[in-house]
Structure 1
Amino acid sequence: MTVLLLAGLAGATAPAWAQRTRSKSKAQLERERRTTLQRIQETSRILAQTQEKKQASVGQLNAIQEKLTVQQGVIKNISSELHYIETDVQQTESQVQRTRQSLEQLKAEYARLIYAGSKTANGYNRLMFLFAAESFNQFMLRLRYIRQYTEVRQAQAAQIVSTQQRLSTQLLGLKAKKEEKGSLLNTQLSEKRTLTTLKTQQDQVITKLTQQEQGLRKELAARQQAVGRLDNLIAQRVREEIARAAREAARKAAAARARAAAAAAGRSPGTTSRTPATAAAEAAAAESAERVDRVTLTPETAKLAASFHENRGSLPWPVGKGFISQRFGRHNHPVLKNVVVENRGVDIQTNAGEPVRAVFSGTVLTVASVPGMGTIIMVQHGDYFTVYAKLRSVSVSEGQTVSARQPLGTVATNAEGTSEVQFQVWHNSANLNPENWLGRK
């Protein structure tokens, strides 16, 4: 009986530990599925806005492709959940089988005890058994045997009841898992049908856009010109800020040297005249400043730049909702064959009128209008710069200090119904991949 009891405990404990381990992963999968479904809802709203114009557009194609990607993630997630449930079902079925075997063995052993006990069932037979002892010690041993025999019967009866209850619980759990599996299979089938519909819709949009090749090439040429104007503006503003900071640092250094020289000559710093030598030193410092290729930092701006760098990979997105419709760097055009486009930042497609936010605290360096790129805002974070283009309206001004997540303006919507903001990150005059700086959405 002891062996059976230990086997029963082992059969119940090991799967319970495994179940806790799997439940953690399964719970994570369920959270990911909820997040993915939320992304699908956001993308569906954005797609609906691009479809209002009743005309195929690259923005519409980007929204469909994003929804396809997310939809594939949903199906993959469901497959992983089904794998866990199938494993649970198999292990629960094994538990049920072991419990049934244990129950049958307990019942058989209990039946043997009942049969053996029936021979001494009445009190007269027990007394005869006791008093037939040849000594007092044998009498006590027979008395102890009768007591232990009774206790074993009671313990086995209790274990049979407990095992039957455990078996009932396992069967209910098995039924629930199979129902959950069936529900997920139906959900997976529905999601696959949705995926097929999206692929058909994608093919239709690509076909329509291919028929508009001439218009797409004109649109691409106009975009490239707009990007060039934006690049020139950013480069100019960065150069100007580098030169300004360097001149300011050089002026302060020259003034400090002049004060030191005046003190050494025994004159009051306030009465020091601007000698030709001092003027020459300032001119040389200014000329040297023009050749500096990075922003000269003060202790305050150096601290800000270091903080910006420490937040690499965890900066908030410039918009609360949306997806990356065009990534950083060189890549093939989504429709035009053998055409490669280059992006200095990332384009984030979002809802119409969505607020555009600063990703980190800093100072507004530039607010300007660039044909083809709408209104642009450039925020300085020490020797780092973030650029927000394709804005419809602006709520900040040059020189203004802003904090992280503070609204800068709202995204613009083009004639095709696509609402898209371009976000760029620069370190001095080096263009960086914004995806390496943004956190998970």
Structure 2
Amino acid sequence: MRHNKNILKFPSLLIFLLTGIIAFSQTNKQADLEARRQELRLEIQKISQLQAENKTKQKSQLSLIQEFNYKISVINNLIKLTNQQANLLTRDINDNQKRITGLRKELENLKKDYAGMIVKSYKNKNQQSRIMFLLSSEDFKQAYKRLQYIKQYSNHQKEQGETIKAKTIELQEVNKNLQKQKNDKQNLIAENRELQKSLEKERTQHESLMNSIKKNINVYASQIKEKQREADRIDREIENIIKAAIASSNKKAGNKATTGSSSSFALTAEEKVLAASFVSNKGKLPWPVEKGYVTLAYGTQPHPLDKSLTTQSNGVRIATEKGSKVRAVFNGEVSRIVLIKNANPVIMIRHGNYITAYKNLSKVYVKEGDKVTTKQAIGEVFTNPMDGETVLSFTVFKEAKTENPASWIYKM
């Protein structure tokens, strides 16, 4: 009989465990969404702050379009995320309302049973009736069992009282959580309304700007192509420098068979350790500037101004504030300070067989051969006096091939 009772209890236990797991999973998901929401809000604040700092400068139309596109995409992402949070809260609210209904029913039954026990105890509370109940036993064994029954009944009463107390507290807690969830949902809905207004404002300005640009689309298309040619020229120069450094490392190591043809650095034991450490920190490296946002992502993509034009970026472009210090993203050695004709200085830092390049600098604080540490200031980003733009170009190389910086930099 005991075995059958356990079988009956098992589904209830399973349901309880599954409910707990689902609730824990939803709580974790809500926490993740909230963390991401705060990140996006901070991102919008950074963009607005940088826009405000540079509002006195006459920015180029192309830069303004990039700013609008990026800000609109971030606002869109934030709207989607707040909708996800609101939907998840709706499910949580519904679950808690069901749970409250179940707890109230359970509490009602517990109180009913407890009231019945109290009445029964009151009728049998006479000490003499208990003694008579024991003395009327047929033998000692029966008397002992009756004594145990009296004790168990008394303990059961206490347990029932404690259960009622615990369930009451649980009900109060669920009610409190429910109210908080309802308030959180209302706040998210209100925030979403404000975001929709902000998005509409940004889109209106974007559309107005696009209409004025379309009147001179050929002029702007020519500027885009010229910028791309200039970026390609600098990238080719850096790539040639890296290839020469690879050949030099092989020659120094005595790899005669591969000198001039190898595509990989000949690493020392120390450089191998540094490269391994660099790789182990992939996705966790700090940003090369303290404040900023990406205006141009890695890879080939259609230009926001004219979809028939494409931009090829071997790294990322990061808009930042005037006077921003450039920081080394990891420990390494300054392999080159590159001075290219009609371009601003470039710092190249080697991390074993990986290289990080920091382009468009106005000041350089380090020299070739210097050992640098993570977050060490190595220079300052150039600010264009014509339009007030302060943009750092940042690239990650493995040997002479580029990699997406967003895969390396923390939450880029």
* TM-score band, normalised by shorter chain: 0.7 to 0.9
Q: What is the Cα deviation at residue 368 of structure 1?
A: 0.8
Distance change >3 Å, CA 44–CA 150, structure 1 → 2? same
Of the candidates 199, 211, 223, which is equivalent to residue 195 of structure 1? 199
Query: Residue 410 in 1 paired to residue 380 in 2?
Result: yes
Q: How many residues align?
A: 399
Whether 1:71 and 2:75 are equivalent positions in the alignment is yes
2:409 counterpart of 1:438: yes
What letter matches 1:60 in structure 2? L
| Whole-angstrom distance in 1 between the partners of 2:199 and 2:119 | 66
Q: Look up the equivalent residue of 2:89 and give its one-letter code.
A: I
The amino acid across from 1:194 in the alignment is S
| C-alpha distance 36-368 of structure 1, shift in aligned 2 (>3 A) | same
Q: Which amino acid aligns with 2:405?
A: P
Cα-to-partner distance string for 1:194-213 (whole Å, 9 max, x where unaligned): 23323223323323333342
Equivalent position of 1:366 in the other structure: 337
Q: Secondary structure at the match of 1:334?
A: coil
Using a 3 Å threshold, how does the CA distance of structure 1 residues 215 and 417 change in structure 2: closer, same or farther? farther
Q: Which residue of 1 aligns with 2:316?
A: 346
Q: Which residue of 1 aligns with 2:348?
A: 378
Structure ID, larger Rg:
1
TM-score under structure 1 length normalisation: 0.73
For residues 216-274 of structure 1, the C-alpha deviation after alignment (integer angstroms, 9 at most, x for no partner) is: 23422432342243134224433543454455455xx9xxxxxxxxxxxxxxxxxxxxx
1:343-390 deviation line (CA, Å, top 9, x unaligned)? 23222222222111223302332331442x422223344444332211
What amino acid maps onto 1:104 in structure 2? E
Partner SS, residue 360 of structure 2: strand
Change (3 A) 1:123 1:185: same
Question: Where in structure 2 are the equivalents of 1:7-18 lying within 5 Å?
Answer: 18=22
Paired-residue identity, %: 24
Tell whether the 8 Å contact from 1:313 to 1:436 is kept in structure 2 after alignment: yes
Q: How far apart in 1 are the matches of 2:350 and 2:150? A: 91
CA distance in 1, matches of 2:334, 2:155: 84
Among 155, 179, 183, the residue aligned to 2:183:
179
Conserved? CA contact 1:301–1:381, under 8 Å: no
Which region of structure 1 is more displaced relative to structure 2, 237-246 or 402-411? 237-246
What's the TM-score once normalised by structure 2's chain length?
0.77
The secondary structure found in structure 2 opposite 1:297 is coil
Instruction: Give the whole-Å Cα distance in 2 for the aligned partners of 1:122 and 1:383.
Output: 87
Please name the residue that 2:365 is paired with: 395
The secondary structure found in structure 2 opposite 1:418 is coil
1:84–1:244 Cα change, 3 Å: closer
> Is residue 421 of structure 1 aligned with residue 392 of structure 2?
yes
Conservation of the 8 A alpha-carbon contact between 1:46 and 1:63 = no
Residues 161/378 of structure 1: CA separation in 2 closer, same or farther (3 Å cut)? closer
2:66 corresponds in structure 1 to 62
How far off is 1:309 after superposition?
5.0
Q: Once the two structures are superposed, what CA deviation does each residue of 1:151-207 show, in whole Å capped at 9, x if it has no partner? A: 777766665565555444443333333223222222232223323323223323323
CA–CA distance in 2 between the matches of 1:235 and 1:154?
80
Q: Aligned in 2, Cα 1:208/1:46: closer, same or farther, shift over 3 Å?
A: farther
Paired letter, 2:326 = V
The reply on whether 1:213 has 2:213 as its aligned counterpart is no
Q: Give the match's secondary structure for 1:374.
A: coil
Change over 3 Å in CA distance of 1:149–1:408 after alignment to 2 = closer
SS across alignment from 1:238: helix
Unaligned runs of 5+ in 1: 254-284
Q: CA deviation at 1:116?
A: 7.0
Q: Check if 1:322 corresponds to 2:275.
A: no
Partner Cα separation in structure 2 for residue 406 and residue 123 of structure 1? 84
Contact 1:12 1:95 in 2 (8 A): no
Structure 1 counterpart of 2:409, one-letter code: L
Aligned CA distance change for structure 1 residues 123 and 86 (closer, same or farther; 3 Å): same
Q: Which amino acid is the alignment partner of residue 357 of structure 1? A: R
Q: Equivalents in 2 of 1:238, 1:396: separation in Å?
A: 19
The letter of the residue matching 2:196 is K
Structure 2, unpaired ranges of 5+: none
Which residue is 1:292 aligned to?
261
